[in-house]
Structure 1
């Protein structure tokens, strides 16, 4: 349906027996065919030339390709944005993806000013931005950082290097130790290089260890140019120390049916060699090998890998035992890691756990966790009794934290069950089975069941009025916790729908099992001035529950003045100020249209007094621009652009222009 540009109110009706039944209304933004182009300047590089790339579209004429111009030090190159740019069609349905551009401009080595412009559909253009681009030649010398040097069982150096003019070519690195040359290639992983040198990738790291005697050594690092010349990065004196003792962490000790110890161990000076050890229980030794997976070891000792973990179980009777852990150094000596007193729990010890929640929303729900301290991986059967009617389930669901409390148990000892129950009070009891037979009553409580069709509950927590009425809060059905409540917002005599299905922290805590996706937030249209606003939560069957009413003052989304206009010296000169009342410190953009041709400018100049009208905004919201125009009378209009796609007119007039 034809419609003028701007925000239009669209309503849908169904004709039922000759009567119009209103289904709802919403604001729709209509874009003019000659709307200003939009796009993203994605990248600029400078190797032997300057390359700029990105995408651009006309929002009001999606099938038309945008003309793109690039100025390099004032010299212009023009192209058309008609190349493939994946994702544009998704952002602007119907446009397709052929709105990309990639422009190569010859440029000498050095620093250049680059500016990008997009042409309007009819006349004029909009500047996308400017930057300073440094251009390098293909044979530019390598650059890099010598990041680290260490001296454990030899000399280890590491860092990164890249050719600025040949980004994908690996740099040859030379290391000298007391004058003896060693070669490396900077082709290893080095995260972050691609962000500093776009297009290079992150495979420009180097690292190497070279045998050296104990003592001090002169170490130098060189980078080789593409012409074969070695450029020194630096030199230092590196002290090489003797091999050190094994390192590691005794992470856990538990006593479920015996003594279990676990952790990891590594030789810092021989990281790929497997460490062996012994655990003693009351003086009796039991050997183990640290060759199991232990995530994170390689992060602490790069190159070691994660295969340095250990976990071993020793049979022991119930009661206290003296447990000690030892690791062997590379010469075979036993090095004690520590000792402790470990309580061993019998396999048939009573279960432990927590009955963490019970609720009566539309039925009875029970949840918690349970395990056997003496048989950590065995599942505990749970029985729930409602007024004497018993239901048995298994405590084998996810429950974070049980493994931290009982090392080795894992986090799969949770239980959760929802059972039907009539409205009213019920006696709920929970039992768990012993590992050796029989059961233990965990506890009982009285639960009030709430019917699914109970009225919704919720709050209306905030209301603002910038360019419309914005409200937020939460609502849910206490008897149907996972269902979404439909909301209704009344502004004077107009009604607008919302859904309480957004994230809102805390609803699950108030109503366990509900989750935290019962928030609502939205902006409905309203003209400037005072409005009577009411918020309702609709019942599941019929009717609604009012969450509150108030008088909301609405102010325009954008504010400003057009203070002066002049047509002398072949220019149309306008001045004034503009800002967004809800974001007073942000810079607003204005659009000046002369006979329909628009140009945009930021309102960021000093304008004394604005900060007094809008406290906290400051006075940097003024504009004063001169736009060339032919002699004669012209129709001039000034608008504030935004927020978003909105446009607020500050005024129009006929301006006489003199030479």
Structure 2
């Protein structure tokens, strides 16, 4: 496909290179035609044979290249009907897609328009499909069917990331990965639609005529296919997009699977189109209205000119409907103006078939589609779509709105180019309206609109209650045009300018610590006073002037120095702590927050646990004395013998539970203890009120430091086989084993054979502690004893003694 990319890139103006891949996807794959239950249309009879499929005329040009086939609303309704309730929030009927602006593309080779300019952004999938239809002249029905036959998206209730990223199969050839430049539902819709149009508009790839069309891309199916007389551009485009035709087994299978050389892309296109939209061949297309149109654009107005005749009712003036920006029947008129030139060309029809529909329209970019209503046989005729740019005749302007104490301030400007006078402005605050005049001094506006003067500014303050409000301003039109919305804003008003803020209170030794922030909206540059109350009594005061950089994001313009941090002494017990912001200017002192805090006093509290280690016993835990934030002493008794430590290790978990006391209250000490059974008890040593408090007692056994293990012997020819294991608790390495026979040393071994079972029982020492050795000895009765040789504290240890009788 690299060569195809290079050729097509040379025939488009101001357009990225167009690859011409063979589109494949989960549903149209040449390998499988299976329909997943989550994407299957309920109307499908899977095994019913395909009827009426013509490989040379899959769909007519009129239906394929129909830029007015469906409105955006009709596309959305269709998707809602097909999908229903979405299971994962990513179905086409609820999906928001995004793509960049597309420039107008024209073929250098043919001079034909490929696609008109397309405005990008974020929008519903139905809107993206509509814009692609209008800009590229490819029917939305064709786009929908392609989305279905490629990835099953029109009926899928739970599309995957892959389904959405390769939605149209655009730039996804059979023999290479998809091009990541066009990944995503929005880019896929734009790219796939552009490709379908480009084949005709650029005269690239297969064109109408006789072509050999294969059945499958599989190597085993090479050469299988037939010559097909492709009679129109639409069918040629489908073969360029998916270059295979269904073989007889695929057609016989309906929506099911044929033999190994079957392909399904173009078969499924035909199946879905006829299932959803009826025949792929426009019935009585030659009986539809004919004619032409053009649009004359003026300031705030368009005039649709042209002519139209219905071949079945040549003397009847026809109804003309305009679809503007996807809104069907936006305007209608009758084509009954005198056009002697038309009457001369069609004498039987007469002169009165001219179009002259005049409509006021808002300024900006618009897409206008012209449809002439059919009479009798045939069908409504889509005369085409045009993208126009209109200069508004309605008032210009803009506003901003901000909350001020007790109301809303609206500022901005507006003028109507039909008058130099200051314009009336109506401002709606929720359901109430007030009238104003935009006559404030705005020399910047005069520079943009020379000749209209400097006095078109707006600066008004409107009273408003506390809460959320919708504020909308309208410039009142003079002359052509209509009243214009010049700004709509959501504003939250703070009543009377009372101070606002937040508070957090935590218990600490001897009282409470209160932190937070506060500011007065009347003057964000000043620091407000904060008063602290406990159970209704004033206990502290401060000024909110500490740095709180997080406030600049939430309240831009007030500055960061509005934080406070104050402590108050309180007796033990549960207290209701409240803070008040002291008002500046308009408003009153305001309650910032209240919370319940329990101030503690009395004896230490906490807990301990112990673990055995090679060097002794590890004591861990924590303790706090509620009368101090400092670490306290802990007395540890082992079998009645005391030693003192300090609970000052960092314990962030304790700090989170008791934030007023901090994290430095942890206990972590290694205590030397001799082998044997012991009892350890720890006491928190009291500070202030209360008494020393038992944190916990625990009993533990320190094992001997000497080697331990065991051996056994088995008589073998010429001696015995000694097996077993041993570990010295002071080391993880294998240790030596001395073997005595009848009291005489006969062997020094190393216990390093693998013993996974020993490792499972003593995971800290590993598996290399096994004994497995042959000891030679003469025939007769013997006593065999083995000893683990100590390393570090402890002593050599007897592992086992065993009496045996050996033979030759």
Answer yes or no: same fold by TM over 0.5.
Answer: no
For the aligned pair, the TM-score class normalised by the smaller chain equals 0.3 to 0.5
The structure with the greater share of residues assigned to strand is 1
Normalising by the residue count of structure 1, what TM-score does the alignment of the two structures yield?
0.37
Question: Which structure has the highest helix share of the two?
Answer: 2
Pair member with larger Rg: 2
